[in-house]
Structure formats: structure tokens, C-alpha cells
Structure 1
């Protein structure tokens, strides 16, 4: 019989899959003001995820407290690796865009820029703090953690990286497929860090937060 803990994890996984992988979050757009539904859902998932993984998060935090120096350099190295991979896969994505004669940018990036102009502080908090935690709990602590039990680590990392990239698509047009390539680098990096650091989710989480923060700093400078 399934324990309450496993039931909670299953519910979290189903909710994330329905809301974000299959874009069920759009259901909340109609009855609520602009972007309010997205913020509400992310907040609920954030609180639920923290409660569900409370013991694990406290345990992993205690490990970090005992090895602060290792954590600092691990995150710094991971962040530099993220920048390198983001540039590399962004370059590949741009080459594919030019090859297929596509113009403009992906809907995900476009939506972020529009929302940033309207609600810069709010979108920054959700994209740099709340969003990364929810994503890392799902992709790394749930998906990658369980895939590694039955698949080789390299294959688990690749599959989770691909799924991570695909969830940043908003439709199945060629432009969105090409745009997803740019997110593959980040998905691979976060998964590699998670495995390398013995499944301590704080490592990819902080790297994820730093990566998104840098993107928003660049976006803010560019909009001045």
C-alpha cells in the first residue's frame, strides 16, 4: 500500500506534469487577471514542494553547512559551466534558426520580456527564486532521482535534459522546437551537477537561480 509520503510525491508529479508539461496552467488565465494565475499556481507548488520535501531539504542543508567551502566552489564551477553550455546551445539554436529561415525568438523568451516590462520585480522573484525551486524539485529530485534507479546516469541526464527543454515550448511549431535547443544546455548542466554532487538539490538549485538572475540583469540593462 502506498505511503502518505509517496502519495504526496505522486500528486506533486501529476500536478507539475499537467500544469507545466501539458500547459494546463492556461486554464487559470481566463478567470484571473494577466499572469495572476501563473503566479498563484507557482506559489502553491512552491509551498507544497517545500512542505513535501521538508526533511530532505533540511538534511541536504545540514550537509552544506558542514562543507561551506565545497558548496561555494561547487556552485561557482557549476555556474561557469552553465554559462558555457548556455552560450554553446544558444549558438546552435541560432544556427538552426538561420538555416530554417526563422525570424524572431521563442515564445517563452518573448513572454518573459513582455512580462518583465510590465511587472519587473514580480517576474524576477518568480523566475529567479520560486520557479527554479519548483523546477529542480520536479526535474532533479523526482524525475532524475527515480530514473537513475533503472537507467544509467548518462541516459537519465540526457532524458531529463530533453524533457526540461521541451517544457519551455508553447506549441509544436518549428520555431519552438529550435528554441528548445537553447534550453537543453541548462537542462543538462543542472542534471550533471545534481548527479556529481551526490543528489544534493541545493547545488543545481543555486546554479539555476544564479543563471536566471544573470539573464534578468542582462535583460534589465538591455531595456534601459
Structure 2
């Protein structure tokens, strides 16, 4: 029989998939005023992030203790990871842009457009969720749970690719060709976070902080560009 912890992890994964991959949170807008539904969606996101943290609390506590013993190693590990993320992002964004030009596609991916639009209306709120809550949720699901599980039965390189691809696909908002091309850019980040996680002996704090720093840099650039 499945243990209570594994049941909880399965519920967490299903809720995340329904609410954010298949945009189940959008159903809230049909049940109540859009302004209320929007804030309720963010509240659900916070609750789900806390639930995921609770499910992984034992490993999170253990990993935090390991970091406290090697603070210098953690600092330089995150720094190297951040530089690696930038390199991977530049490479895959370049490939994405080349594909976009070759196929004659215009504009940004819907995910980027939505972020820019929401940022202009609610800059502080979207910054908190994109730079803190979002990375926490995604690293718990994709690295701490999914990648760790896949590595038990699949080769590490294949596990990294599958999780990186899944990470890229959740940033798609439709099945249009432009969204598939846009997902190529996110694949670089998905692979980078997974490689960092494996390299740092499955300590999720490394890719988590790198993820937060990467998103924060993107939003700093976005904020400067919107001035």
C-alpha cells in the first residue's frame, strides 16, 4: 500500500498539475468576480507551496543543516550555479530566437507576455510570486520530488532531460507552434536547475536559490525596461 507521505506527494503533484498546468485556477473566474478570483488564485498558490514544504520538511531540515556546516561552499556553489544558469539560458534563448526567425514567428511567448502585463498592474505581487513562491513550488515538485524519484529507476542523464523538458512544457499556454518554440528557451533553465541539483548531491537549496536569483534578475531587467 502507498504510505501517507507518498499519498500526500501524489496529491501535491495532481493539484499543481490541475491548477497551474491545465489552468484549473481559471475556473475561479467563472464562480466569482475576476478581481477576487485573481487574489484567491495567489492564495491557493501559497497554500500549495506551504503544503509541499510540509511534505518535504524532513529533507529540507536535513539539507539546511548541511548548508550551515559549509556556508562558504554553499555561497560559491550558488554563484557557480547562477553563472551556469545564465550561460544555459543565453544558449537556449538564442536557439529559440533562431527557430522563431526561421519559422517566421513574431512576438513573445504567452508566458512572458502575461508576466509583463501582470507586472505593470501589480509589480510587487507578481515579483514576490515569481521570485520566491514560484521557484519554491517548482523546485519542490520538479527537483525534490520528480527528479529524485526518477533517478531511482532511470539513468541520471535521462532523468535530467525528462524533468527539464517537463519544466519547459509547463510554461506553455497553448499548443501553438510559437509556444513550442518559446518552450525551448525555458528548457535551458530546466536542465540547469536539474544539473545543479544532481551536482550538489540532491540538496534542493542550491537550485532553489539559483532559481530565485535568476527570476529576480529577469524582473530587475523587466522593471528597468518598463520605466
Same fold (TM over 0.5): yes
Quote the residue 2:12 is aligned against: 12
Alignment of structure 1 residues 15-54 onto 2, 5 Å? 15-30=15-30, 31=32, 32-33=34-35, 35-54=38-57
CA deviation after TM superposition for structure 1 residue 21, in Å: 2.5
Query: CA separation in 2, counterparts of 1:169 and 1:106?
Result: 8
Query: CA separation in 1, counterparts of 2:52 and 2:221?
Result: 29
CA contact (8 A) 1:93 1:179 kept: yes
**What CA deviation, in whole Å up to 9, does each residue of 1:122-160 have, x standing for no partner?**
000000000100000000011101110110000000011
CA deviation after TM superposition for structure 1 residue 93, in Å: 0.6
Query: CA separation in 2, counterparts of 1:22 and 1:152?
Result: 29
RMSD: 1.1
Quote the residue 2:72 is aligned against: 69
Query: CA separation in 2, counterparts of 1:82 and 1:29?
Result: 36
Quote the residue 1:165 is aligned against: 168
Alignment of structure 1 residues 1-224 onto 2, 5 Å? 1-30=1-30, 31=32, 32-33=34-35, 35-224=38-227
Query: CA separation in 2, counterparts of 1:218 and 1:142?
Result: 31
CA contact (8 A) 1:29 1:36 kept: no
Unmatched segments (≥5 aa) in structure 1: none
Worse overlay, 32-41 or 159-168 = 32-41
User: What SS class does the counterpart of residue 154 from structure 2 fall into?
Assistant: coil
**What CA deviation, in whole Å up to 9, does each residue of 1:12-68 have, x standing for no partner?**
111112222333222223324263243122111111112111111111100000010
TM-score (norm 1): 0.97
Query: CA separation in 1, counterparts of 2:160 and 2:29?
Result: 33
Query: CA separation in 2, counterparts of 1:25 and 1:135?
Result: 17
Query: CA separation in 1, counterparts of 2:95 and 2:28?
Result: 35
